[in-house]
Amino acid sequence: MLFKQQALLRQKLFVLGSLAIGSLLYLVARVGSLDRLQPLCPMDGRFGPRSQEEIPLRALQFKRGLLHEFRKGNATKEQIRLHNLVQQLPKAIIIGVRKGGTRALLEMLNLHPAVVKASQEIHFFDNDENYAKGIEWYRKKMPFSYPHQITIEKSPAYFITEEVPERIYKMNSSIKLLIIVREPTTRAISDYTQVLEGKERKNKTYYKFEKLAIDSNTCEVNTKYKAVRTSIYTKHLERWLKYFPIEQFHIVDGDRLITEPLPELQLVEKFLNLPPRISQYNLYFNATRGFYCLRFNIVFNKCLAGSKGRIHPEVDTSVVTKLRKFFHPFNQKFYQITGRTFNWP
Protein backbone atom coordinates (compact mmCIF):
# COMPACT_ATOMS: atom_id res chain seq x y z
CA MET A 1 0.00 0.00 0.00
CA LEU A 2 2.81 2.43 0.94
CA PHE A 3 4.63 1.57 -2.28
CA LYS A 4 1.52 2.45 -4.34
CA GLN A 5 1.11 5.80 -2.52
CA GLN A 6 4.76 6.67 -3.16
CA ALA A 7 4.40 5.74 -6.84
CA LEU A 8 1.26 7.89 -7.10
CA LEU A 9 3.05 10.81 -5.41
CA ARG A 10 5.99 10.51 -7.82
CA GLN A 11 3.59 10.50 -10.75
CA LYS A 12 1.87 13.67 -9.50
CA LEU A 13 5.22 15.39 -8.97
CA PHE A 14 6.27 14.41 -12.48
CA VAL A 15 3.07 15.90 -13.95
CA LEU A 16 3.48 19.11 -11.94
CA GLY A 17 7.12 19.36 -12.98
CA SER A 18 6.21 18.89 -16.63
CA LEU A 19 3.58 21.63 -16.35
CA ALA A 20 6.09 23.99 -14.73
CA ILE A 21 8.70 23.36 -17.44
CA GLY A 22 6.05 23.77 -20.13
CA SER A 23 4.96 27.10 -18.62
CA LEU A 24 8.56 28.30 -18.49
CA LEU A 25 9.16 27.36 -22.12
CA TYR A 26 5.95 29.16 -23.09
CA LEU A 27 7.09 32.31 -21.31
CA VAL A 28 10.48 32.18 -23.03
CA ALA A 29 8.76 31.73 -26.39
CA ARG A 30 6.50 34.68 -25.56
CA VAL A 31 9.47 36.89 -24.81
CA GLY A 32 11.07 35.80 -28.08
CA SER A 33 7.91 36.62 -30.00
CA LEU A 34 7.79 40.18 -28.74
CA ASP A 35 9.75 42.69 -30.69
CA ARG A 36 12.93 43.86 -29.05
CA LEU A 37 11.46 47.36 -28.95
CA GLN A 38 9.57 46.44 -25.77
CA PRO A 39 11.58 48.22 -23.07
CA LEU A 40 12.44 46.91 -19.63
CA CYS A 41 11.46 50.20 -18.01
CA PRO A 42 9.17 53.13 -18.95
CA MET A 43 10.34 55.72 -21.43
CA ASP A 44 10.27 58.88 -19.35
CA GLY A 45 12.42 61.05 -21.62
CA ARG A 46 11.51 63.31 -24.50
CA PHE A 47 12.83 63.62 -28.01
CA GLY A 48 13.92 67.18 -27.56
CA PRO A 49 12.83 70.79 -27.15
CA ARG A 50 10.49 70.69 -30.13
CA SER A 51 8.57 67.65 -28.92
CA GLN A 52 6.06 68.04 -26.09
CA GLU A 53 4.76 64.47 -26.17
CA GLU A 54 6.20 61.64 -24.14
CA ILE A 55 7.01 58.40 -25.90
CA PRO A 56 4.11 56.09 -24.98
CA LEU A 57 5.06 52.71 -23.60
CA ARG A 58 2.38 51.00 -25.66
CA ALA A 59 4.05 52.37 -28.80
CA LEU A 60 7.07 50.20 -28.11
CA GLN A 61 5.23 46.87 -28.02
CA PHE A 62 4.73 44.92 -31.18
CA LYS A 63 5.36 41.33 -32.14
CA ARG A 64 8.31 40.13 -34.17
CA GLY A 65 6.16 38.02 -36.47
CA LEU A 66 3.88 40.92 -37.34
CA LEU A 67 6.81 43.29 -37.88
CA HIS A 68 8.34 40.70 -40.20
CA GLU A 69 5.13 40.71 -42.22
CA PHE A 70 5.27 44.51 -42.43
CA ARG A 71 8.84 44.35 -43.73
CA LYS A 72 7.88 41.73 -46.33
CA GLY A 73 4.97 43.91 -47.43
CA ASN A 74 2.39 41.30 -46.42
CA ALA A 75 0.57 43.38 -43.81
CA THR A 76 -2.92 44.60 -44.63
CA LYS A 77 -3.88 48.26 -44.41
CA GLU A 78 -6.17 47.34 -41.51
CA GLN A 79 -3.29 45.77 -39.56
CA ILE A 80 -1.16 48.86 -40.13
CA ARG A 81 -4.01 51.14 -39.05
CA LEU A 82 -4.77 49.11 -35.92
CA HIS A 83 -1.14 49.18 -34.83
CA ASN A 84 -0.85 52.90 -35.61
CA LEU A 85 2.25 52.29 -37.73
CA VAL A 86 3.68 54.70 -40.28
CA GLN A 87 6.63 54.97 -42.63
CA GLN A 88 8.48 58.13 -41.68
CA LEU A 89 11.24 60.09 -43.34
CA PRO A 90 14.44 59.80 -41.29
CA LYS A 91 15.05 62.35 -38.55
CA ALA A 92 18.74 61.45 -38.59
CA ILE A 93 21.04 60.03 -41.26
CA ILE A 94 24.43 58.37 -40.93
CA ILE A 95 26.06 60.03 -43.95
CA GLY A 96 29.51 58.42 -43.71
CA VAL A 97 32.19 57.54 -43.85
CA ARG A 98 32.74 54.34 -45.81
CA LYS A 99 34.64 51.75 -43.74
CA GLY A 100 34.33 53.99 -40.72
CA GLY A 101 31.85 51.72 -38.94
CA THR A 102 28.51 52.92 -40.34
CA ARG A 103 26.86 49.48 -40.13
CA ALA A 104 28.07 48.87 -36.59
CA LEU A 105 26.81 52.31 -35.52
CA LEU A 106 23.38 51.79 -37.10
CA GLU A 107 22.94 48.33 -35.55
CA MET A 108 24.03 49.57 -32.12
CA LEU A 109 21.68 52.57 -32.24
CA ASN A 110 18.93 50.12 -33.14
CA LEU A 111 19.29 48.79 -29.58
CA HIS A 112 17.45 51.92 -28.44
CA PRO A 113 13.70 51.28 -28.14
CA ALA A 114 12.88 54.64 -29.73
CA VAL A 115 15.04 54.04 -32.83
CA VAL A 116 13.98 52.15 -35.95
CA LYS A 117 16.54 51.53 -38.68
CA ALA A 118 16.32 51.11 -42.41
CA SER A 119 17.80 47.66 -43.00
CA GLN A 120 19.33 48.39 -46.39
CA GLU A 121 21.29 51.33 -47.75
CA ILE A 122 18.75 53.33 -49.73
CA HIS A 123 21.18 55.41 -51.84
CA PHE A 124 18.45 57.95 -52.52
CA PHE A 125 20.42 61.18 -52.42
CA ASP A 126 23.60 59.96 -54.12
CA ASN A 127 21.92 58.04 -56.95
CA ASP A 128 20.38 60.21 -59.69
CA GLU A 129 18.02 57.46 -60.83
CA ASN A 130 16.70 56.87 -57.31
CA TYR A 131 16.49 60.59 -56.56
CA ALA A 132 14.38 61.13 -59.69
CA LYS A 133 11.77 58.75 -58.22
CA GLY A 134 10.89 61.39 -55.64
CA ILE A 135 10.62 61.79 -51.90
CA GLU A 136 7.55 59.57 -51.61
CA TRP A 137 9.53 56.66 -53.09
CA TYR A 138 12.20 57.33 -50.47
CA ARG A 139 9.67 57.41 -47.63
CA LYS A 140 8.22 54.06 -48.71
CA LYS A 141 11.69 52.54 -48.40
CA MET A 142 11.63 53.33 -44.68
CA PRO A 143 10.61 50.74 -42.05
CA PHE A 144 7.27 50.83 -40.28
CA SER A 145 7.44 52.63 -36.95
CA TYR A 146 5.31 54.39 -34.38
CA PRO A 147 4.91 58.17 -34.72
CA HIS A 148 7.07 58.88 -31.67
CA GLN A 149 9.96 56.73 -32.84
CA ILE A 150 12.88 58.07 -34.83
CA THR A 151 13.84 56.49 -38.15
CA ILE A 152 17.52 56.38 -39.10
CA GLU A 153 19.12 55.30 -42.36
CA LYS A 154 22.76 55.06 -43.42
CA SER A 155 24.40 55.42 -46.81
CA PRO A 156 28.12 56.23 -46.44
CA ALA A 157 28.41 57.37 -50.08
CA TYR A 158 26.40 60.45 -49.06
CA PHE A 159 29.41 62.03 -47.36
CA ILE A 160 31.58 62.22 -50.49
CA THR A 161 28.92 62.83 -53.18
CA GLU A 162 28.71 66.49 -54.24
CA GLU A 163 24.96 66.74 -54.83
CA VAL A 164 23.89 65.14 -51.55
CA PRO A 165 24.13 68.05 -49.05
CA GLU A 166 21.80 70.26 -51.09
CA ARG A 167 19.37 67.40 -51.71
CA ILE A 168 19.13 66.50 -48.03
CA TYR A 169 18.78 70.19 -47.12
CA LYS A 170 15.80 70.49 -49.46
CA MET A 171 14.15 67.52 -47.72
CA ASN A 172 14.82 68.66 -44.15
CA SER A 173 17.06 71.60 -43.30
CA SER A 174 17.05 70.72 -39.57
CA ILE A 175 17.92 67.01 -39.90
CA LYS A 176 20.63 65.57 -37.65
CA LEU A 177 23.69 64.18 -39.40
CA LEU A 178 26.04 61.51 -38.07
CA ILE A 179 29.59 61.03 -39.35
CA ILE A 180 31.68 58.13 -38.05
CA VAL A 181 35.40 58.33 -38.74
CA ARG A 182 38.49 56.20 -38.17
CA GLU A 183 42.17 57.04 -38.34
CA PRO A 184 42.46 58.04 -42.04
CA THR A 185 45.26 55.67 -43.07
CA THR A 186 43.60 52.70 -41.34
CA ARG A 187 40.31 53.59 -43.01
CA ALA A 188 41.96 53.77 -46.46
CA ILE A 189 43.57 50.35 -45.98
CA SER A 190 40.22 48.93 -44.81
CA ASP A 191 38.59 50.39 -47.92
CA TYR A 192 41.23 48.72 -50.09
CA THR A 193 40.79 45.41 -48.24
CA GLN A 194 37.06 45.29 -48.97
CA VAL A 195 37.62 45.91 -52.68
CA LEU A 196 40.45 43.36 -52.74
CA GLU A 197 38.21 40.69 -51.23
CA GLY A 198 35.58 41.34 -53.89
CA LYS A 199 38.18 40.99 -56.65
CA GLU A 200 39.52 37.74 -55.20
CA ARG A 201 36.02 36.29 -54.99
CA LYS A 202 35.72 36.85 -58.75
CA ASN A 203 39.23 35.45 -59.36
CA LYS A 204 40.42 38.84 -60.54
CA THR A 205 43.86 40.31 -59.94
CA TYR A 206 44.28 43.63 -58.15
CA TYR A 207 47.12 46.04 -57.51
CA LYS A 208 48.84 46.17 -54.15
CA PHE A 209 47.74 48.99 -51.86
CA GLU A 210 51.14 50.68 -52.11
CA LYS A 211 50.89 50.96 -55.90
CA LEU A 212 47.44 52.55 -55.69
CA ALA A 213 48.13 54.92 -52.80
CA ILE A 214 51.45 56.27 -54.09
CA ASP A 215 51.91 57.90 -57.49
CA SER A 216 54.76 56.01 -59.16
CA ASN A 217 55.80 59.09 -61.18
CA THR A 218 56.05 61.58 -58.33
CA CYS A 219 56.45 59.18 -55.38
CA GLU A 220 53.84 61.32 -53.59
CA VAL A 221 50.45 60.33 -52.21
CA ASN A 222 48.01 59.63 -55.03
CA THR A 223 45.05 61.90 -54.32
CA LYS A 224 43.22 60.49 -57.34
CA TYR A 225 42.85 57.18 -55.51
CA LYS A 226 39.32 57.13 -54.06
CA ALA A 227 40.36 55.43 -50.81
CA VAL A 228 42.78 58.30 -50.16
CA ARG A 229 40.31 61.03 -51.14
CA THR A 230 37.61 59.66 -48.86
CA SER A 231 39.96 59.91 -45.86
CA ILE A 232 40.46 63.66 -46.38
CA TYR A 233 37.48 64.27 -44.10
CA THR A 234 37.74 68.03 -43.86
CA LYS A 235 37.44 68.52 -47.64
CA HIS A 236 34.08 66.74 -47.72
CA LEU A 237 32.80 68.29 -44.49
CA GLU A 238 33.44 71.81 -45.81
CA ARG A 239 31.01 71.13 -48.64
CA TRP A 240 28.32 70.07 -46.13
CA LEU A 241 28.89 73.20 -44.05
CA LYS A 242 27.65 75.32 -46.94
CA TYR A 243 24.16 74.00 -46.12
CA PHE A 244 24.17 72.88 -42.48
CA PRO A 245 25.63 74.45 -39.32
CA ILE A 246 28.21 72.39 -37.45
CA GLU A 247 25.72 71.95 -34.58
CA GLN A 248 23.68 69.58 -36.78
CA PHE A 249 26.61 67.18 -37.10
CA HIS A 250 27.86 64.68 -34.59
CA ILE A 251 31.24 63.03 -35.09
CA VAL A 252 31.52 59.45 -33.84
CA ASP A 253 34.91 57.90 -33.09
CA GLY A 254 34.84 54.68 -35.13
CA ASP A 255 38.02 53.34 -33.54
CA ARG A 256 36.58 53.78 -30.04
CA LEU A 257 33.27 52.26 -31.12
CA ILE A 258 35.20 49.02 -31.72
CA THR A 259 37.01 48.93 -28.37
CA GLU A 260 34.66 50.85 -26.06
CA PRO A 261 31.26 51.32 -27.73
CA LEU A 262 29.01 52.40 -24.85
CA PRO A 263 30.43 55.93 -24.24
CA GLU A 264 30.19 56.66 -27.98
CA LEU A 265 26.58 55.48 -28.11
CA GLN A 266 25.69 57.57 -25.07
CA LEU A 267 27.05 60.65 -26.83
CA VAL A 268 24.85 59.88 -29.84
CA GLU A 269 21.79 59.40 -27.60
CA LYS A 270 22.43 62.86 -26.18
CA PHE A 271 22.91 64.40 -29.64
CA LEU A 272 19.62 62.90 -30.85
CA ASN A 273 17.81 64.08 -27.69
CA LEU A 274 16.92 60.49 -26.85
CA PRO A 275 16.43 59.33 -23.27
CA PRO A 276 19.40 57.15 -22.24
CA ARG A 277 18.42 53.52 -22.77
CA ILE A 278 21.45 51.68 -24.18
CA SER A 279 23.47 50.09 -21.37
CA GLN A 280 26.39 47.75 -20.91
CA TYR A 281 23.86 44.92 -20.73
CA ASN A 282 23.18 45.44 -24.44
CA LEU A 283 26.83 45.01 -25.45
CA TYR A 284 29.04 42.00 -24.86
CA PHE A 285 32.50 41.22 -26.19
CA ASN A 286 32.72 38.16 -28.42
CA ALA A 287 36.28 36.85 -28.08
CA THR A 288 35.90 34.59 -31.11
CA ARG A 289 34.82 37.42 -33.40
CA GLY A 290 37.07 39.97 -31.74
CA PHE A 291 34.48 42.70 -31.35
CA TYR A 292 31.30 43.59 -29.47
CA CYS A 293 27.98 41.94 -30.24
CA LEU A 294 24.47 43.12 -29.37
CA ARG A 295 22.03 41.83 -26.75
CA PHE A 296 18.43 42.99 -27.18
CA ASN A 297 16.92 40.79 -24.44
CA ILE A 298 17.43 37.41 -22.75
CA VAL A 299 16.50 35.62 -25.98
CA PHE A 300 17.70 37.74 -28.89
CA ASN A 301 21.42 38.44 -29.51
CA LYS A 302 23.09 39.60 -32.70
CA CYS A 303 26.64 39.89 -34.07
CA LEU A 304 27.65 41.80 -37.17
CA ALA A 305 28.18 39.85 -40.38
CA GLY A 306 31.34 37.85 -40.83
CA SER A 307 32.48 40.32 -43.50
CA LYS A 308 33.10 42.85 -40.73
CA GLY A 309 36.50 42.94 -39.08
CA ARG A 310 38.49 41.77 -42.11
CA ILE A 311 42.22 41.23 -41.58
CA HIS A 312 44.16 43.97 -43.34
CA PRO A 313 47.11 43.12 -45.60
CA GLU A 314 50.62 44.10 -44.52
CA VAL A 315 51.47 47.53 -45.89
CA ASP A 316 54.98 48.90 -46.32
CA THR A 317 55.77 51.03 -43.23
CA SER A 318 57.27 53.81 -45.35
CA VAL A 319 53.95 54.10 -47.22
CA VAL A 320 52.00 54.18 -43.96
CA THR A 321 54.31 56.93 -42.66
CA LYS A 322 53.95 58.95 -45.89
CA LEU A 323 50.15 58.69 -45.73
CA ARG A 324 49.99 59.73 -42.08
CA LYS A 325 52.19 62.73 -42.80
CA PHE A 326 49.96 63.63 -45.75
CA PHE A 327 46.73 63.41 -43.72
CA HIS A 328 48.11 65.27 -40.68
CA PRO A 329 47.27 68.89 -41.73
CA PHE A 330 43.81 67.83 -42.91
CA ASN A 331 43.23 66.07 -39.58
CA GLN A 332 44.21 69.20 -37.64
CA LYS A 333 41.70 71.24 -39.58
CA PHE A 334 39.05 68.58 -39.02
CA TYR A 335 39.66 68.77 -35.25
CA GLN A 336 39.33 72.55 -35.39
CA ILE A 337 36.07 72.54 -37.34
CA THR A 338 34.33 69.79 -35.40
CA GLY A 339 35.66 70.56 -31.92
CA ARG A 340 36.60 66.92 -31.46
CA THR A 341 40.21 65.76 -31.26
CA PHE A 342 41.43 62.26 -32.02
CA ASN A 343 44.75 60.64 -31.20
CA TRP A 344 45.66 60.13 -34.83
CA PRO A 345 49.38 60.16 -35.74
32 in a labelled binding site: no
190 in a labelled binding site: yes
Closest CA to 101 of 48, 10, 178, 195: 178
Instruction: Collect all residues with Cβ–Cβ distance below 8 Å to 101 and sequence separation of at least 6.
Output: 180, 182, 252, 254, 257, 258
β-bridge partners, 144: 87
100 in a labelled binding site: yes
316 and 199 Cβ atoms separated by less than 8 Å: no
99 in a labelled binding site: yes
312 in a labelled binding site: yes
Number of H helices, E strands in the chain: 14, 10
Phi, psi of 325 (to 5 degrees): -65, -40
292 in a labelled binding site: yes
182 in a labelled binding site: yes
Helix, coil or strand: residue 253:
strand
Instruction: Collect all residues with Cβ–Cβ distance below 8 Å to 111 and sequence separation of at least 6.
Output: 265, 277, 278, 282, 294, 296
Q: Is 72 a catalytic residue?
A: no
Query: Can you tell me the distance from the alpha carbon of 172 to that of 182, in angstroms, rounded to the nearest whole number?
Result: 27
Letter for the amino acid at 93?
Answer: I
10 in a labelled binding site: no
307 in a labelled binding site: no
Identify the active-site residue in 12, 72, 77, 99.
99
Closest CA to 88 of 157, 172, 159, 166: 172
Residue ranges for the known binding site are: 99-103, 182, 190, 292, 308-312
- The catalytic residues are 99
Residue ranges for the known binding site for 3'-phosphoadenylyl sulfate are: 99-103, 182, 190, 292, 308-312
